[in-house]
């Protein structure tokens, strides 16, 4: 017997535009690079309609952004990055592109050791997280976590900044600046990657903000010395992502909530933290807290009208909330597919509509966008520099 019921749970619950309050919403266009979308990047208006589309040469390693010059910055999955540990295929990037709205590639950079976040800086440089193996003697000093095999290698983060020529102009090595005894891995995470920097930012003081996934917490690193001058610990956040510096000096973060202390159910929240006091000064959770939860990925973006755009990554749910916590826009990503490679499917199985991060842009930030919907652009694979 053949069933006529859609077996994709998220799609059965509804996709596309779910809710829109035009009076309270900030408006604009949302950029989406689905993890299993085969390299398609969509620009969606507030009605949920695709107004522009790119076809990138590789699937996303993580996300896409619109740069200050109107071009697309794309964090692609490097096809020849050697597997470092089980989930590596699912979350590494390392193949970076800048493409014009019409599809011309104007910059390309590769680092097969890259994973998770990358920030396209105002000066044109690229700041990103990579990793490097550490000696077994160092790995033994890192407390906690769950070993997945005898003599399992451990990788530690190295943060790099490269200029337009692809030259490394700044680097920071976690094993040189963090005392491993002060940053234990939570019991629910493996010991293969420490402390797993999954998000980056540069704050108003010029410090590099780093989100430490497996150990929980956000640190601020002084560029000149490499020293940690800010540490927001596991008593404030729980295995978070995306530390976003705000103009008022605060930090916005997506607090995933894995293994949240003192909670009998798992739930996510968006938090605004005052780094001076290390206190949460604003937060959003669902009224029924467990109805808003992404165990992995996620981000939040403060919009010009004071609202916050939220990416609940695991479910492909995007929504906008006011300062009072009222949802004024909601959209479910309608594109579902499996990861194309077996290694990624082993870690992230099923038909997914997940996305690492999404971002909202104003009409003024997209001067190339025609009033009538622009045609899709198609990109060819560039020569490796």
Q: Report residue 140 as tokens.
A: 């033994």
pLDDT of residue 148: 78
The confidence band for 378, taking pLDDT boundaries of 50, 70 and 90, is very low
The confidence band for 2, taking pLDDT boundaries of 50, 70 and 90, is confident
The span from the CA of 198 to the CA of 182, in Å, is 19
Residue 382 pLDDT greater than 70, yes or no: no
370, 305, 329, 338: which is closest to 43 by C-alpha?
Answer: 370
pLDDT of residue 1: 64
The confidence band for 371, taking pLDDT boundaries of 50, 70 and 90, is low
DSSP state of 92: B
- Domains in the chain, CATH or no CATH each: 16-370 (2.120.10.30)
pTM, full prediction: 0.94
Residue 30 pLDDT greater than 90, yes or no: yes
Chain centre distance of CA 129: 12
pLDDT in tens, 42-80: 999 999 999 999 999 999 999 999 999 999 999 999 999
pLDDT of residue 385: 31
Residues with Cβ within 8 Å of residue 149, at least 6 apart in sequence: none
Torsion of the alpha carbons at 217, 220, 223 and 225, rounded to the nearest 10: -80
pLDDT in tens, 328-358: 999 999 999 999 999 999 989 999 999 999 9
For the chain, how long is the longest CA-to-CA vector?
Answer: 67
């Amino acid at each position: 017997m053949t069933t006529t019921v859609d077996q994709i749970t998220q799609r059965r619950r509804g996709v596309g535009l779910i809710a829109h309050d035009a009076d309270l919403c900030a408006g604009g266009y949302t950029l989406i690079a689905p993890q299993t979308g085969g390299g398609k990047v969509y620009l969606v208006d507030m009605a949920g309609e695709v107004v522009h589309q790119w076809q990138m040469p590789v699937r996303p390693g993580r996300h896409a952004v619109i740069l200050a010059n109107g071009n697309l910055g794309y964090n692609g999955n490097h096809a020849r990055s050697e597997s470092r540990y089980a989930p590596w295929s699912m979350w590494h990037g390392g193949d970076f592109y800048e493409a014009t709205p019409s599809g011309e590639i104007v910059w390309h950079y590769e680092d097969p050791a890259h994973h998770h976040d990358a920030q396209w800086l105002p000066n044109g440089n690229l700041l990103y997280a990579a990793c490097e193996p550490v000696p077994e003697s160092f790995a033994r000093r890192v407390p906690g976590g769950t070993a997945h095999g005898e003599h399992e290698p451990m990788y530690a983060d190295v943060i790099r900044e490269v200029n337009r020529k692809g030259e490394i102009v700044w680097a920071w090595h976690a094993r040189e600046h963090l005392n491993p005894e002060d940053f234990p891995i939570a019991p629910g995470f493996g010991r293969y990657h420490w402390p797993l920097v999954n998000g980056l930012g540069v704050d108003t003081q010029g410090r590099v903000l780093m989100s430490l996934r497996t150990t929980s917490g956000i640190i601020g690193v002084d560029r000149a010395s490499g020293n940690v001058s800010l540490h927001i610990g596991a008593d404030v956040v729980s295995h978070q992502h995306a530390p976003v510096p705000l103009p008022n000096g605060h930090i916005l973060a997506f607090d995933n909530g894995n293994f949240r202390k003192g909670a009998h159910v798992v739930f996510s929240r968006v938090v605004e933290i005052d780094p001076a006091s290390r206190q949460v000064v604003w937060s959003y959770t669902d009224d029924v807290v467990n109805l808003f939860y992404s165990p992995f990925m996620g981000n939040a973006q403060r919009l010009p009208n004071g609202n916050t755009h939220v990416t609940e990554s695991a479910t492909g749910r995007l929504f906008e909330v006011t300062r009072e916590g009222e949802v004024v826009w909601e959209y479910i990503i309608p594109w579902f597919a499996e990861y194309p490679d077996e290694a990624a499917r082993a870690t992230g199985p099923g038909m997914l509509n997940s996305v690492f991060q999404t971002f909202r842009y104003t009409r003024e930030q997209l001067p190339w966008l025609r009033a009538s919907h622009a045609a899709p652009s198609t990109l060819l694979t560039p020569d490796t520099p």
